[in-house]
Amino acid sequence: MSKYIVTSALPYAEGVPHLGNFIGSILPADVYYKYLRLMDKDAIFICGSDQHGTPIEIQALKKGITPQELSDSIHERTKESMSKFECTFTFYGKTNSDKNKETVYYLFDKLNKNGYIDKVDDIQPYCNKDKLFLADRFIEGKCPVCGAEGARGDQCDNCGSLLNAIDLIDPHCKICGGTDISFKKTVNLALDLKKLQPKIREFVVDRMNNNWSKNAIKKTLSYIDGGLKPRDITRSINWGFDVPLKGFEDKKFYVWFDAVIGYIGITREWNEERWKDYWKSDETKLIQFMGKDNIEFHTMMWPGILIGSDDGFVLPYTIKAYEYLTSTGIKFSKSNNVGINVENSLEILDADYWRFVLLYKLPETSDTDFSIEVLKDTIDKIMNDKIGNFINRVLTIAKSNSTHLKEIKTSGDYKDKESELIKNYEDNFNNINIREALHDLIDLAELGNSLISTTEPWKLAKKLDDKDIESEFKDILGNLITTVYHIGILSYPFIPKASSEILSYFNIEGIPKFAQMEEGITVNYEKPVKPLFEKLSKDKIDRLSKF
């Protein structure tokens, strides 16, 4: 029986995640994990705060606190917000934990002994005004590949090229804005991706048909075809894990190195006795969700660490990388203050609304623009009109005529159509097409709405003393109530609070199971029927407008 490790790219603890971070990795990972629970699979969902790096150090200095205090504070705020968003992590940990440090040192030692750690002569940017070495994201300039402004010292978001800071055109310091930058020679340690390239290529070719997103396949093969180079794993910085190697006492591990290893370290935080049951089992499928800017770290560097350690760790099975959520064509960004963060959003709307709308617009294959108009249309026309009204109408008619509805079952062509939609839902989830699975759920409500429109059961309810009409009414309501029940179960991964509310009309509590759809249906006709959703009010629109 397969086991699953589901991970989301770890949110960086410089600030609370915005909705672009949330939709780009955490939310789809949570939805997929909930689906696995729905299917009664053996799965764990691991995530946590990425706590190291110069940006956190600089933010802490500005606030007059330590990097530890800042990153721990952001960790707690993010963890609380994720809980309010109904995210059900098996464990939400930290990369600065003792368990992760132990894991980082263990894997570093393995890589070093296996000949995959090199000493490299390096040139690092140094701001003469701020008197510090600049982390890759704190030096910007024109991309030497595509010419776009705003390329960082490690990567250009416009064309996706991996870069070195010294190659940037007209570089400037993002901290002070100045151009008084020197490039100083130093010696760093690097993961020898060039030596690992044949094994990384073999891994990619073997796994990329396991529902990898197209951008992950295309980008990775492009990098490999261009030839991989050693990638630094140390930096001249002050905040991070010390490097346990003589001659490198003044260095720290580069944040990307301990962040990806954090998936294992955080699992060890969760359970030191059980972590190997997942990370060292041939039955485990590692399913990883991330934004497209994290592809190379997860398809080459992270597998390179695991392969190079030669210690029997599970390699990624599926890499699911999402495009960007944009606002009027601008990527959501914490550092550039673009977009609304998860704390702000929950002050205005309940989690189910955000979850539904973001998943309805999930940027699976291309960047997706987000606006108040999109939010309003999706809530009003899809959540409320198509799903909420359908459920409310069916339960209201059923409650008013409960004496005629002792046995609930489906029949005829309607049953076949509903079964086909449920099969599509299951297939799409198994292929990790999450947005399409949500559309299958919406189509279930549409199927029910169509039956209501064509049969007008409220008219039949006035003639139930006629046995033939009563029989027809029972068949129609049996189909409709069953669809409401099925929507209640199948909506759990997407909108868990609404799912629970729907299923309360059927006396079901806790996490539903897919298998329950084959069980008999009991309706609680005593429970008052209330609207499931409400439309977006002017007050909420006004409050959203400030963002």
- What pLDDT is recorded for position 128? 93
For the segment 149-156, the average pLDDT, to the nearest whole number, is 89
Two structure tokens written together for 118:
């090199």
Q: What is the pTM of this model?
A: 0.92
**Other CB atoms within 10 Å distance of the CB of residue 504:** 13
The region of weakest confidence among 247-256, 330-339, 513-522 is: 330-339
Is pLDDT above 80 for 123?
yes
- Residue 183's pLDDT band, with cuts at 50, 70 and 90, is very high
Q: Does residue 252 belong to any structural domain of this protein? A: no
**pLDDT, position 208:** 95
Element housing 249 (H / E): none
Residue 546 pLDDT? 80
Q: Does residue 137 surpass a pLDDT of 80?
A: no
Signed CA dihedral, 137, 19, 363, 367: sign only: negative
Tokens of 378: 């999706």
Average pLDDT over residues 477-488: 97
pLDDT digits (tens, 9 = 90+) for 387-444: 999 999 999 999 999 999 888 888 889 999 999 999 999 999 999 999 999 999 999 9
In a domain, 535, yes or no: no
* Residue 338 banded pLDDT, cuts 50, 70, 90: low
* 406 in any annotated domain: yes
DSSP calls for 187-202: EEEEE-HHHHHHHHHH
**Tokens linked to 434:** 């999450």
Q: How many domains does the chain fold into? A: 2
Name the residue range of residue 399's domain.
372-518
Residue 261 lies in a domain: yes
φ and ψ at residue 393, rounded to 5 degrees: -65, -45
Rounded distance, CA 338 to CA 26, Å?
Answer: 19
pLDDT interval class at 124 (50, 70, 90)? confident
Going through 157-268 in order, the beta strands assigned E by DSSP cover: 169-173, 181-191, 231-232, 234-235, 252-253
Which residue(s) pair with 235 in the sheet? 252
Instruction: Mark whether 312 and 431 lie in a shared domain.
Output: no
Same domain, 419 and 453: yes
pLDDT tens profile 186-215: 899 999 999 999 999 999 999 999 999 999
Identify whether residues 336 and 395 lie together within a single domain.
no
Residue 330 — pLDDT band, cuts 50, 70, 90? low
Q: Mark whether 9 and 88 lie in a shared domain.
A: yes
pLDDT band at 334 (very low <50, low <70, confident <90, very high): low
Q: Note whether 307 and 315 are within 8 A (CB).
A: yes
Q: Is 317 a domain residue?
A: yes
**279 shares its domain with 344:** yes
Average pLDDT in the chain:
94
- Model confidence band, residue 237 (pLDDT cutoffs 50, 70, 90): confident
Q: What percent of the chain has pLDDT over 90?
A: 82
- Two tokens, residue 124: 């690092």
- 18 pairs with which residues across the strands? 341
Check whether 282 has a pLDDT greater than 60. yes
- Is residue 149, in this structure, part of any structural domain at all? no
- 158-175 pLDDT tens trace: 887 888 899 999 999 988
Please indicate, yes or no, whether residues 376 and 514 belong to a single structural domain of this protein: yes
Residue 233 lies in a domain: no
Q: Where residue 135 falls among pLDDT bands split at 50, 70, 90?
A: confident
- At 23, list the tokens: 């939709």
Cα 521 to its chain centre, rounded Å, is: 34
The answer to whether position 231 is within a domain reads no
Tell me the C-alpha to C-alpha distance, in Å, between residue 23 and each of 9, 359, 522.
11, 7, 36
Of the candidates 316, 332, 348, which is a domain's last residue?
Answer: 348
Element (H, E) at 489: helix 467-490
**152-166, 322-336, 384-398: range with lowest mean pLDDT:** 322-336
Return the pLDDT at 336: 58
Q: Find the CATH number of the domain harbouring 102.
A: 3.40.50.620
Say if residue 333's pLDDT is above 70: no
pLDDT band at 136, cuts 50/70/90? confident
**Alpha-carbon span 59 to 245, nearest angstrom:** 29
- Distance CA(487)–CA(498), nearest Å, equals 10
Token representation of residue 29: 């990972």
pLDDT at 509 over 70: yes
Residues 506 and 381 in one domain: yes
Using CA atoms, how far residue 410 sits from 157, 271, 290, 477, 483, in Å, is: 52, 45, 40, 9, 9
Contact 527, 505 (CB under 8 A): yes
Enter the DSSP assignment of 12: B
- Alpha-carbon distance 518 to 508, whole Å? 14
pLDDT for position 331: 60
Quote the pLDDT of residue 519: 87
Q: Which two tokens stand for residue 186?
A: 């130093």
Identify the pLDDT of residue 20: 86
Distances 479 to 68, 376, 415 between C-alpha atoms, Å: 57, 31, 7
Range 431-458 burial, b when 16+ CB lie within 10 A, else e: ebbbbbbbbbbbbbbebbbebbeebebe
Please check the confidence at residue 23 and state whether its pLDDT lies above 60.
yes
* Phi–psi pair at 144, nearest 5 degrees: -75, -10
Calculate what percentage of the chain has a pLDDT beyond 70: 98
At 533 the pLDDT is: 97
**Are both 386 and 454 inside the same structural domain?**
yes
CA distances from 187 to 123, 240, 341, 345 (A): 8, 18, 39, 45
Domain shared by 476 and 404, yes or no? yes
CATH number, domain of 479, equals 1.10.730.10
pLDDT score, position 327: 77
33 plus 102 within the same structural domain: yes
- At a CB cut-off of 8 Å and minimum separation 6, what does 456 contact? none
The string over 117-145, giving b where at least 16 C-beta atoms fall within 10 Å of a residue's C-beta and e elsewhere, is bbebebebbbbeebebbbbbbbbbbbbee
Q: Which residue reads 């291309």 in tokens? A: 366
Work out whether strand 3-8 and strand 42-49 pair parallel, antiparallel, or are unpaired: parallel
pLDDT at position 325, please? 85
Tell me: do 341 and 489 sit in the same domain.
no
Q: What angle do CA 343, 260, 306 make, to 5 degrees?
A: 155
Query: Are 397 and 301 in a shared domain?
Result: no
Pick from 154-163, 484-493, 538-547 the range whose average pLDDT is largest.
484-493
Question: Is 14 a residue whose pLDDT tops 70?
Answer: yes
